[in-house]
Structure 1
Amino acid sequence: MPVPSPAAATQGESELSPAPEGAAPMKEKKKRPALDRRELTRPRVAPRAQSRKAIMEKFGGAASGPAPNIKKMGGVNSVKNMLLEWCRAKTRGYEHVDIQNFSSSWSSGMAFCALTHKFFPDAFDYAALDPAKRRENFALAFSTAEKHADCAQLLEVDDMARMSVPDSKCVYTYIQELYRSLVQKGLVKTKK
C-alpha cells in the first residue's frame, strides 16, 4: 500500500505518493456520503420478490391454474391412512387388537391374525390364540395369508419376533401386499 508523502501529510491533503514504475496506478477511494440518523435506525427490508405472474410471464407460462400434468393427489399419507382405517374396520371387535399405527399395534402378531381370520375364519381358531406367544402368532398369520390369499411372505417370523416394536415401513408394505392379494382373489372390492 502506498504511503502518503510527507508533504501531503503536512498539508492535510489525502493524495497518495505516486506508484512505483511498472505498478498499476491505484484508484482513489470515493468517500461515502454520511448516513442520516433515520437510516441507521430504520429496519432493512429485503427487496420484494417478483410476483408469480411476472415469473410465469418471464418463463413463457400462464400465471393461472396448476402446472400442466400435475394433479392434486392425496399423496402417500392419505393412502396410508386409508389402509390403516381399512385394517381398523376389518379387525373391529377382535380381542387384543387395537390398531393405531403400523408399528406397535402389530407387535404381538394378534392384528395380523385378526386380519387374516376376518377373511379366512375357518383357517384357525382365533379365540385360542395367546398375545404372549408372538412367534406363533406371526407364523400362523403369515402362513395362512400365504396359503389362502397367495400373499408373499415379505416378513420373516424370526425378525418380527426379535423386534419389540416392528418397523412401520415393513408392516405397511406387508399389509399393502396382503390387501393387493385379497383384491386379486376377489375378497376385497375396490372402487374403479
Structure 2
Amino acid sequence: MCVFLYLFRDKNVDSRPKLRRSQSFNTSSASGIKQLLLDWCRSKTIGYQHIDIHNFSSSWSDGMAFCALVHSFFPNEFDYNKLNPAHHKHNLDLAFTTAEEKADCIRLIEVDDMMAMGANPDPMCVFTYVQSLYNHLKRFE
C-alpha cells in the first residue's frame, strides 16, 4: 500500500514539522484495490486445478496460482496440467521466467525468497508482484 506523507506545521503546539497521512489514499481504497486485483486473478484462473486465491500470501506459496495466471495469457508456453503443487520451486521459477520472457515483467520476488517464506509469504511482496503482473499482462487481454 502506498501512503503519501507530507509535512505540516501545527502552530498551536510547536514549530516542529510533523508527519500526517494524506487523505488521498486511505485504507478502504487500498483494500478496495486489493480486492479488485484478487477478483481479477480469480477471473483469469477459473477452471484451473489446485487454485484457491483468497489472499496475497498462502494462496500463492506453491506457485500454482502464479502459473495459472501466467498460463491463462500464454497457454502454449507450458502444460499446466503436468504441474505438481508439491514442486513449489519449479512452479515459481516457471511462472516468473515465463512472465519475464513473454510479458517483460521483471522478477520483483526471487524464487529463493518465496521458498524461504514458506507457506505464508509476505503479502506486500506478493501483492506488489501480482500488481506488476496485472500491469504487464493486461495488454494481452
Bin of the TM-score, shorter chain as denominator length: 0.7 to 0.9
Inter-partner Cα distance in structure 2 for 1:96 and 1:129 = 10
Q: Counterpart of 1:175?
A: 130
> Runs (4+) of structure 1 moved beyond 2 Å?
69-72
CA RMSD between the two structures:
2.0
Alignment-mate amino acid for residue 187 of structure 1: F
Q: Counterpart of 1:112?
A: 66
Relative contact order (alpha carbons < 8 A, sep ≥ 6): 1 or 2 greater?
Answer: 2
> 1:29-82, CA deviations, whole angstroms, 9 ceiling, x for partnerless residues?
xxxxxxxxxxxxxxxxxxxxxxxxxxxxxxxxxxxxxxxx9799x611111100
The alpha carbon displacement at 1:143 in A equals 0.2
Inter-partner Cα distance in structure 2 for 1:71 and 1:120 = 34
Percent identity between the aligned chains?
55
**Consecutive unaligned residues in structure 2, runs of 5 or more:** 1-22
SS at match of 1:95: coil
1:123 maps to 2:77? yes
Q: 1:71 to 1:103 in 2, by over 3 A?
A: closer
TM-score (structure 2 length as normaliser) = 0.78
Q: Counterpart of 1:77?
A: 31
SS at match of 1:100: coil
Inter-partner Cα distance in structure 1 for 2:130 and 2:24 = 28
Q: 1:95 to 1:76 in 2, by over 3 A?
A: same
1:101 maps to 2:55? yes
Q: Counterpart of 2:140?
A: 187
TM-score (structure 1 length as normaliser) = 0.58
Determine which structure has the larger helix proportion and give its number.
2
Aligned residues: 118
The alpha carbon displacement at 1:137 in A equals 0.3
